[in-house]
Structure 1
Amino acid sequence: MYHPTSRVLTVLELLQAKPSISGPELAARLEMDVRTVRRYIMHLQDVGIPVEATIGRHGGYRLRPGFKLPPLIFTEEEATAIILGLLMSSWLEIEQPSAAIEGALAKVSRVLPLQARERLQAVSSHLSFYPPSQQARPSASLLIDLSGAIHASQRILINYTSHHKEDTQRKIEPYGVTGWKGRWYMVGYCCLRQGYRVFRLDRIRHITILAETFEKATDFDHEAFIRDNRNIGPINLEVEFQTDLATVQQKIPASYGILTPSATGVLFQGTYYDIESTARYLMALNMPFLIHQPLELRDTLRHLGEQMIQIANTPIPPQAH
């Protein structure tokens, strides 16, 4: 049994093959009634195909003389979805050339009927999207290479910069790539650490696809591993500022979390998704605080402090004369 979309395309193929074809002939060729043929003809007209009805003894349907079918046909709803997706691609946190996006937009617009094209040009010219962060973004080519290796079950060799800025080379058996809260992550089995690990794509400096293949564990769910990983999932933050409520309220918007006066200061509770960004935010507030949770925040702050000390102790090199 044909899918309705397949039948509509078959009607179009028959119209292209003959100068004119009658409704009863179309109905007989497609094993349907004439009313259904008329409905499919109207559908083609709705998406901008100039199907004309001819009357008389040899009347029927034909494509307008001189009409050439574009390589792709989109309904207005399909084109809108594609264009919005292209415009919002900056939110994907993937580095990609703007010329590629502009070229794709132009190609989609060219195959649209004039009226639909004008409406979508109005949409694209009045919408702007900006990435949620200005941090390093992985390239689209990296995403493509990883996807290919995952599909073919090939091991990869990556040069990776860890959370603590340590550069290592890892052999990985990649299982999946996931976008999560503005960042991209790869889950894989690390041959160096002998266990499953999560790697941020923006910290992968180089990738080599190896000829070696591996057999994936059927009982491992990389998406569940991402959700359960404490460094990626929601961080339940609970810190106690050593100052008064009025001071804290001046520096922290009410939407950021819950402020509760305590015996020694103000308890701040909130949910965040990146422990390093959270640590930097707390430091920028310039208020002393105690960490209740997560305990990993202590290590992150300690590492940031070491970075600051190193920067402060780095002398200016002598100028050459």
Structure 2
Amino acid sequence: MLSSSSRLLRVLSLLQTRSHWAGPELAERLEVHPRTLRRDIDRLRELGYPIHASSGVAGGYAFRAGQSLPPLLLDDEEALAVAIALQIAAAGTVSGVEESSLRALVKLEQVMPTRLRRRTNALRSAIVPVQRIGPTIDAGVLASLATACRDQLQVGFSYRDLRGQASVRTVEPHGLVHTGNHWYLVAWDPARDDWRTFRIDRVQGAPRTGDHFAPRPAPAGDLRAYVTGAMTGVHQGDQARVVLHRSRDVMLRTIPPSAATLEAIDGEHCLMLCSAGQLDSLVYWLMALDVDFDVLAPPVLKERLRVASERVASSLARAERSGASA
């Protein structure tokens, strides 16, 4: 049988793995009598741990929210995961958490066993943070929107769109998506009777929560797929449709989901759907893909490609004439 101190630590560790433990099950897991478990729970309460006990058929023990955060027990892999997350957060796109992330990382490393500290130091020396891409967002704004999503509360905020035009939006928030460069809020917009995506760095000031709303099924069945579609123009009328002479699996290695949506046609072809808003950039991108392609739409993209090919052919002809006369 474990010593009293070791058993208390074991109780804490188990309580942190579930939202609720049945009393008999927890006692059996610890291999102690239920009376011993009750004494251990009382001792932990005296030490400041907010443990709630309930009686009856579904009775048992659970952590409840307290006035302060109690110490957490982490195994090696959990501690390593937290250390990596804190290091990434310190150099991430959410402003206001850099210093607190570093403080937490220092505290965590101070209490790590030597074997684990070596692994953490190896990861830290190997991970080289790059310069931030895209604007930073306020941690308080992100937390407020996340809370509204969780509690299904309408949220209002001032918003500045891509053209710099300001407006006030009241929406039903569904979830947050991080694409690597930007954070997006996916929400139902009652004023437009449709789903919308909002870049969180364009939210001005603090969001304001309102009434509860009934949840809706996620658009496109998946928030990440919906945001990717919105970014690539799949949900808009201004869309390019191009058949690529390579399989979808092969092209996924070259084309990121944030740039285009790829649909398999057969083992050697796939359909690329992307925004046609920047035609000149799209022409350059297609010619740089090093793969044969057929443009289905829009017609103006075909014309831009024809002009570009004529320009390239003219340039090559001049180069050949210059080489012949040299």
Relative to the length of structure 1, the TM-score reads: 0.51
Distance 1:129-1:142 versus aligned 2 partners, 3 A rule = same
Looking at structure 2, the residues matched to 114 and 189 of structure 1 have their Cα atoms a distance apart, in angstroms, of 50
The one-letter code matched in structure 2 to 1:149 is A
1:160 aligns with 2:171: no
Cα-Cα RMSD:
4.7
Looking at structure 2, the residues matched to 196 and 143 of structure 1 have their Cα atoms a distance apart, in angstroms, of 19
Q: What's the counterpart of residue 220 of structure 1? A: 217
Once the two structures are aligned, what percentage of the paired residues are identical?
21
Looking at structure 1, the residues matched to 272 and 90 of structure 2 have their Cα atoms a distance apart, in angstroms, of 25
Q: What's the counterpart of residue 127 of structure 2? A: 127
Give CA deviations for 1:200-243 in whole Å, capped at 9, x if unaligned: 21221223313x313223x421572642463235868568xxxx
Following superposition, the deviation at residue 189 of structure 1 comes to 2.2
Distance 1:207-1:270 versus aligned 2 partners, 3 A rule = farther
The one-letter code matched in structure 1 to 2:221 is A
Q: What's the counterpart of residue 64 of structure 2? A: none
Following superposition, the deviation at residue 91 of structure 1 comes to 7.7
Q: What's the counterpart of residue 35 of structure 2? A: none
Q: Which runs of 5+ in 1 are unaligned?
A: 1-6, 15-26, 33-69, 240-253, 258-268, 299-321
Distance 1:270-1:84 versus aligned 2 partners, 3 A rule = farther
Distance 1:95-1:234 versus aligned 2 partners, 3 A rule = farther
The one-letter code matched in structure 2 to 1:156 is V
Distance 1:280-1:157 versus aligned 2 partners, 3 A rule = farther
Following superposition, the deviation at residue 102 of structure 1 comes to 0.9
Following superposition, the deviation at residue 173 of structure 1 comes to 1.8
SS in 2 for 1:231: helix
Q: Any conservation in 1 of the 2:141–2:207 contact (CA below 8 Å)? A: no
Q: Which runs of 5+ in 2 are unaligned?
A: 13-26, 33-69, 243-252, 257-269, 288-293, 302-326
Q: Any conservation in 1 of the 2:241–2:274 contact (CA below 8 Å)? A: no
Q: What's the counterpart of residue 199 of structure 1? A: 198
Distance 1:195-1:100 versus aligned 2 partners, 3 A rule = same
Looking at structure 1, the residues matched to 232 and 115 of structure 2 have their Cα atoms a distance apart, in angstroms, of 45
Q: Any conservation in 2 of the 1:158–1:170 contact (CA below 8 Å)? A: yes
Distance 1:238-1:93 versus aligned 2 partners, 3 A rule = farther
SS in 2 for 1:232: helix
Looking at structure 2, the residues matched to 274 and 92 of structure 1 have their Cα atoms a distance apart, in angstroms, of 28
Q: What's the counterpart of residue 187 of structure 1? A: 186
Looking at structure 1, the residues matched to 241 and 189 of structure 2 have their Cα atoms a distance apart, in angstroms, of 32
Matches within 5 A, 1:83-162: 83-89=83-89, 93-130=93-130, 134-162=133-161
Give CA deviations for 1:100-129 in whole Å, capped at 9, x if unaligned: 221111111122123422442232234222
Q: Any conservation in 2 of the 1:161–1:167 contact (CA below 8 Å)? A: yes
Looking at structure 1, the residues matched to 273 and 77 of structure 2 have their Cα atoms a distance apart, in angstroms, of 36
